[in-house]
Structure 1
Amino acid sequence: MSKLVDFPTSLPAIPIPENTNAAEVVASFVSRLEHLKKSDFKDDAVWRDTFALAGTSRTFYGPSPITAAWHETTKRSKAGLFSLNEKTARIIRSPLGPHWIQGKFSFETSADPPTTCSGIITLVLTSASEWRIWTLRSILEQLKGESNVDVLARVNGTEQATNGHSEERHFDCIVIGGGPSGLSQGGRLKALGISYVVLDTHPKVGDNWKLRYDSTRLHTSREYSHLPFERTFGPEYQEWLTKDDLAEGYQRWVAKYDINIWTGTTVVSGSWDSSNKKWTLRTKRDGKDEQSITGSFIVVAGGAGGQVPKMPEYPNREKFRGLVLHSAEYRNAFQWKGKRGVVVGTANTGHDVADDMLQAGLSSVTMIQRGNTYILPAEYYKKTADLYYNATVPTEAGDRESLTQPMAIVDLLSQINLHHLTNMERPRFDALEGAGFKLDRYGSIIDHLYNRMGGHYIDVGTSAKISKGLIKIQTSTPVSYTETGILFDDGTELEADVVVFATGFEGNMRYLVRDVFGEEIAEQMGDFWGLDKEGELNGVWKGTGHPAMWYHGGTIGQQRFYSRFIALQIKAKMLGTPLVVYDKTP
């Protein structure tokens, strides 16, 4: 597992003079893009390609690896017609130090498959007068001659999503999972004229959110949470969307775009016929007899993580006279009023459940903390997110700006900003530590999201209740249940009537593939999530070990944005001109 701080890049240090003409500086470098030299790059420059030239997502570090890969991929794809959008050239001056010039450009490729692409270039001073490329990004936009993956016409539908509208038995693509990742994928496939079906086990669209615990709400902003093609959640929705808001928005979206989703459908088993290049799935729909469907491609759309709870086992559980459950089974705490509640885990769900218990009137609420926890106040997060996702910036523009940035750069920029805000509010965090909370004050939200897949808390108010002692913290290690509670390694006992394990889920989607398709296909697909040595996410959105299957998941924004690249890869394969993958190691 790679740590972001290990990647060989840094933030620029030299200020940009006030009289600098940003458009002139950017134009001089865009004109060189067909023939870039090592001397055009900063010593620790970074290039990230998102399916435009490498046929996959790759990140390259340093002038020599970048120029070697750039020359080979641009020549192979016959890239040209590089053109600067002069209106986008601007100077960015961070109040905390880093300065750079940024501009956006477009280009095309004429080798098979011919494409249109976009790019973002940033330039920095390396001396008083020497400009160099700091970061370079290239992004696949469209397949020439095909419909637009980012546009889908609305149809005359009702406000209530229906349980599918097709009785076909063969599809170009079968999407397993009907949460935001599966819905986004279905919409993108439809936009490209690819026949598809989305399969979901839940009875209704949106139930993957609606059936969670009662107080569930997003800890990310409303503007980040849309599905493709539109602002799914308008200003009439609250800033922090509840599970019911999400379910309602998804149902309206499915109806509006007439998405072919089969709810109440379980995939019993699946197999791949390599000679015919066809998948066969055995499904059970609405509890009826099993039926087979076939498809040329599969997208396993498991979302932000798996559905199998992770729950540590402690001895003597049978002796405990109280209730033990995982957060997957939890709905609310009102039936436990006056009782003693314990929550194991201090990430987002653990805080939500503890806050529920407090509001429900339990006589005591204690969180068992097993390791230091990174706390990110929601207002800090929103201050950063609002730069890209707000009421005036189109969602697709925010996605390209935010989600194509090299991960190492995102980490450096987020840490410098978030740690500064933390230092401005030292008493807030001192009080939390004073209450016994083991705090990771200067953590990396990027590392938590993309290496650990969680383990942090975006503070929407519960931290203050811990600081005030309303919610207690226990940091010793549990070793056993007792009749009346939990015994710890220091010999102390915590009395409890109900214990909720907010300890997460199995996040590697590989287990879903194993359960349905068997060990051989799971081995081919490999692991899902976690950063590789380039700072790219393992497995997700790109071709892996199987030529006709993809993983799809991540944050809601990533599910929305990267669904377009899976759809474009599938369409290119259907046309007989698959994206050519550059797999050389610099």
Structure 2
Amino acid sequence: MYSLPDLPCFLPAIPIPDFVDLDAVANYFRSAFEVLSESHFLQDALWRDTFAMTGTLRTFYSTKSIAAAWKDTSATHKPTSFEIQGKPNLIKAGDSHWVELRFTFETHGIPATTADGILSVALDKHGIWKIWIMRTVIGQLKDQPNVDKLDMVRQLDGEKLTNGTTELINGITTNGTTPNGITTNGTTPNGTDSPNVDFQCVIIGGGQAGLSVGGRLKALGVSYVVVDKYEQVGDSWAKRYDSTRLHTVREFAHLPFERTFPATYQEFLTKDDLAKGFREWAAKFDINIWTSTTVLSGSWISEHDTWELEIRRDGMNQTITCSYVVLAVGANSRFPVAPTYENREAFRGVILHSGDYTNSKEWAGKHGVVVGSGNTAHDVVEDMYSQGMASVTMVQRNPTCEELTLAPEELLLIIPGLYNADTPTELADLLFFTGPAVMTRLMAGKMLHAKIRQHPERFDALEKAGFLLDRYADMGYVIYVRQGGHYMDVGTSGKIASGLIKMKTDSLPVRWVEDGLECANGDHLRADVVVFSTGFVGNLRLLVAELLGNDVAAQVEDYWGLDEEGELLGAFKPSGHPAFWYTGGAIGQARYMSRFIALQIKAKCLGTPLPLYTETPPRNSSIPMKVL
């Protein structure tokens, strides 16, 4: 279900003059928090909470729904000490104007927390200031370590790390390993919530998502291990096809705690840049990761609230136990999908899925066909062309299915300049990731589509070359449902427009022939190599069933897609099983959302889980909190 088009949202329509007293606006809303009610909101306002008041990710729509939910959650959390932070900002997006205010507050329930927030306020038709969008975000658990800070600087020549918990011997960290092989990570090996487990948390997968959660848990003093099938940290990138590179800017790609990729790295990071940065980050912060380790199976022992995981580490099987499991294996890498064509045995060439593709060096002078038209497909055809293949053809399916938006990188920066060397990554993440998805869709359309209209010649040239282009695709669908199906240009579009890379869009392949593919209209596509860049099954619930059993899979949500409030299914929040989380996403998303998984787990370790507000409150009623 794609809920965003059906959810109520709007952009403010009343102009705000440049001479408005922004400080007075800020002071008014600071005092309003203590008595927040329906009268403070625009009629169709939104409230998006990120674990601060609901213990999960929730978006509330309409004044009455917001007021009722705020009343209910406030009774449990007792929010106080509201303070405006920094200077208010007057924002003008075309004919839509609003004022943005950052604020902080504290909660005094169980557990007590600090919290951050953002108010977007606008004028109503009577000229009265009202809240248009309210965002609240859990900050820290009071009296606990900071989830955003891990001051671990690696010293060379065998010196101790600055926290004194581990040592480097000839540049190799001992990770605090005890003789029985259980790593303490500077904490007690047994979780405070269960005295009989090896780790409080096991994280399956050591890419950006798994490393980020591991680092955050270490910052909070939770015993953990990251298990990864690859031989080295960073291999989840290093083992990808040779031409792999990010299509987002370098500043978006950092891991927690620091700028992992300084300006010495190129703007669009390659797979080897990412692998190098990840290895250095893991060593610097002494992340406890077991490489060459595969989870074979697992089971939930409900009478002990414990996971038992059967693993194979360095060629030997063993069993480890933990209180919590985080699945961080990447949705777009496990179950490849590809169309099937008749007469497969007739083809005499090479057939690959992009997941198995490395490069085209051995195929110079041969003919290549790539089925698909997203980022990966563009990377592959670019590599084929650069390696001197005799012809390169991209087969693109119907754009109404592909929802492909093709635009240069600068057009896809929805918040221009937000991720840069001068803005702290933590602040950029707060601003970028905490808005309601329904509003992200609306703003992306407004800003991106306006810029596309300013550059019609670029898109005209692509369409003239045969590219099936949806200039005004719904980016909410692309991001939250498709998990892709778009291309941010780093050079391939010009080759398509100029005809160096051919397009096949008028008729799709239906059968194999000895030297290529035959299309439905009888056209022949000559090919020695066919690469399917057609994606993967993105629902990790299939893997949950495979690894942890059908009973666990029956309890957890699907992974990705949207619920009826426009919130992601499964990812980052309570999954339906009390001791299991999914994580993943692009690097920026994995980095930021890891803080919330770590805070949820730490709160449970302390015996004070975040109260979970599960109901949509009817008007003027009070719904009790649920604690899971």
TM-score normalised by L of structure 1: 0.97
Corresponding residue for 1:141?
Answer: 139
Letter aligned with residue 36 of structure 2: L
| C-alpha separation in 2, matches of 1:18 and 1:74 | 35
Q: Deviations over 1:497-519 (max 9, x none)?
A: 11001111121111221111111
| C-alpha separation in 2, matches of 1:161 and 1:441 | 51
Corresponding residue for 1:456?
Answer: 486
Matches within 5 A, 1:91-170: 91-94=90-93, 96-127=94-125, 129-156=127-154, 166=177, 167-168=181-182, 170=198
Q: Does the CA contact (< 8 Å) of 1:187 and 1:228 recur in 2? A: yes
Corresponding residue for 2:369?
Answer: 342
Query: What displacement does 1:532 show?
Result: 1.2
Query: What displacement does 1:381 show?
Result: 4.2
Letter aligned with residue 177 of structure 1: G
Corresponding residue for 2:423?
Answer: 393
Query: What displacement does 1:157 show?
Result: 5.1
Q: Which runs of 5+ in 1 are unaligned?
A: none
The reply on whether 1:221 has 2:219 as its aligned counterpart is no
Corresponding residue for 1:308?
Answer: 335
Matches within 5 A, 1:232-271: 232-271=260-299
SS in 2 for 1:374: coil
| C-alpha separation in 1, matches of 2:140 and 2:406 | 37
Letter aligned with residue 377 of structure 1: A
The reply on whether 1:428 has 2:428 as its aligned counterpart is no
SS in 1 for 2:338: coil
Corresponding residue for 1:173?
Answer: 201
| C-alpha separation in 2, matches of 1:177 and 1:12 | 43
Letter aligned with residue 449 of structure 1: I
Letter aligned with residue 536 of structure 2: F
Query: What displacement does 1:304 show?
Result: 5.3
Pair 1:251–1:326, CA change in 2 (3 A): same
Query: What displacement does 1:41 show?
Result: 1.1
| C-alpha separation in 1, matches of 2:406 and 2:437 | 19
Corresponding residue for 1:30?
Answer: 30
Q: Does the CA contact (< 8 Å) of 1:303 and 1:555 recur in 2? A: no
Farther-moved stretch of structure 1 (177-186 vs 356-365): 356-365
SS in 2 for 1:384: coil
Q: Does the CA contact (< 8 Å) of 2:248 and 2:409 recur in 1? A: no
Matches within 5 A, 1:432-443: 432-443=462-473
Query: What displacement does 1:419 show?
Result: 0.5
| C-alpha separation in 2, matches of 1:429 and 1:447 | 21
Query: What displacement does 1:347 show?
Result: 0.5
Query: What displacement does 1:298 show?
Result: 0.4
Farther-moved stretch of structure 1 (244-253 vs 306-315): 306-315
Q: Does the CA contact (< 8 Å) of 2:43 and 2:63 recur in 1? A: yes
| C-alpha separation in 2, matches of 1:577 and 1:229 | 26
The reply on whether 1:275 has 2:303 as its aligned counterpart is yes
Query: What displacement does 1:384 show?
Result: 3.4
Q: Does the CA contact (< 8 Å) of 1:380 and 1:418 recur in 2? A: no
Corresponding residue for 1:186?
Answer: 214
Query: What displacement does 1:128 show?
Result: 5.4
Q: Identity over aligned residues, as a percent?
A: 51
| C-alpha separation in 1, matches of 2:174 and 2:377 | 34
Letter aligned with residue 465 of structure 1: K
Matches within 5 A, 1:195-234: 195-234=223-262
Q: Deviations over 1:84-107 (max 9, x none)?
A: 22x23121122x222111111111
Query: What displacement does 1:435 show?
Result: 1.0
- Equivalent position to 1:521, from 552, 562, 584: 552
| C-alpha separation in 1, matches of 2:204 and 2:172 | 18
Pair 1:449–1:487, CA change in 2 (3 A): same
Corresponding residue for 1:565?
Answer: 596
Farther-moved stretch of structure 1 (155-164 vs 106-115): 155-164
| C-alpha separation in 1, matches of 2:122 and 2:502 | 49
Query: What displacement does 1:377 show?
Result: 2.2
| C-alpha separation in 2, matches of 1:499 and 1:44 | 51
Corresponding residue for 1:356?
Answer: 383
| C-alpha separation in 2, matches of 1:319 and 1:585 | 57
| C-alpha separation in 2, matches of 1:82 and 1:350 | 49
Letter aligned with residue 149 of structure 1: V
The reply on whether 1:473 has 2:503 as its aligned counterpart is yes
Farther-moved stretch of structure 1 (252-261 vs 152-161): 152-161
SS in 1 for 2:414: helix
The reply on whether 1:446 has 2:476 as its aligned counterpart is yes
Letter aligned with residue 421 of structure 1: K
Matches within 5 A, 1:282-297: 282-287=310-315, 289-297=316-324
Q: Does the CA contact (< 8 Å) of 2:300 and 2:307 recur in 1? A: yes
| C-alpha separation in 1, matches of 2:172 and 2:483 | 31
Letter aligned with residue 414 of structure 1: A
Q: Does the CA contact (< 8 Å) of 1:513 and 1:522 recur in 2? A: yes
Q: Deviations over 1:186-206 (max 9, x none)?
A: 000000000000000000000
| C-alpha separation in 2, matches of 1:199 and 1:562 | 19
| C-alpha separation in 1, matches of 2:176 and 2:546 | 28
Query: What displacement does 1:161 show?
Result: 7.0
Corresponding residue for 1:413?
Answer: 443
Farther-moved stretch of structure 1 (97-106 vs 179-188): 97-106
Query: What displacement does 1:127 show?
Result: 2.3
Corresponding residue for 1:575?
Answer: 606
Corresponding residue for 1:90?
Answer: 89
| C-alpha separation in 2, matches of 1:511 and 1:30 | 47
Q: Does the CA contact (< 8 Å) of 1:3 and 1:447 recur in 2? A: no
Q: Deviations over 1:464-505 (max 9, x none)?
A: 111111111112122111111111111222111110011111
| C-alpha separation in 2, matches of 1:100 and 1:249 | 39
Query: What displacement does 1:533 show?
Result: 1.2
Q: Does the CA contact (< 8 Å) of 1:26 and 1:101 recur in 2? A: no
Q: Deviations over 1:439-464 (max 9, x none)?
A: 11101333211111111111111111
| C-alpha separation in 1, matches of 2:137 and 2:99 | 19
Pair 1:331–1:315, CA change in 2 (3 A): same
Pair 1:155–1:391, CA change in 2 (3 A): closer
| C-alpha separation in 2, matches of 1:509 and 1:385 | 30
The reply on whether 1:380 has 2:378 as its aligned counterpart is no
Aligned length: 583
| C-alpha separation in 2, matches of 1:569 and 1:305 | 25
The reply on whether 1:536 has 2:570 as its aligned counterpart is no
Q: Does the CA contact (< 8 Å) of 2:230 and 2:236 recur in 1? A: yes
Query: What displacement does 1:382 show?
Result: 5.7
The reply on whether 1:404 has 2:413 as its aligned counterpart is no
The reply on whether 1:58 has 2:53 as its aligned counterpart is no
Pair 1:327–1:581, CA change in 2 (3 A): same
| C-alpha separation in 2, matches of 1:300 and 1:323 | 34
Q: Does the CA contact (< 8 Å) of 1:154 and 1:256 recur in 2? A: yes
| C-alpha separation in 1, matches of 2:99 and 2:320 | 52
Letter aligned with residue 62 of structure 2: G
Q: Which runs of 5+ in 2 are unaligned?
A: 157-167, 183-196, 618-628
Corresponding residue for 2:164?
Answer: none
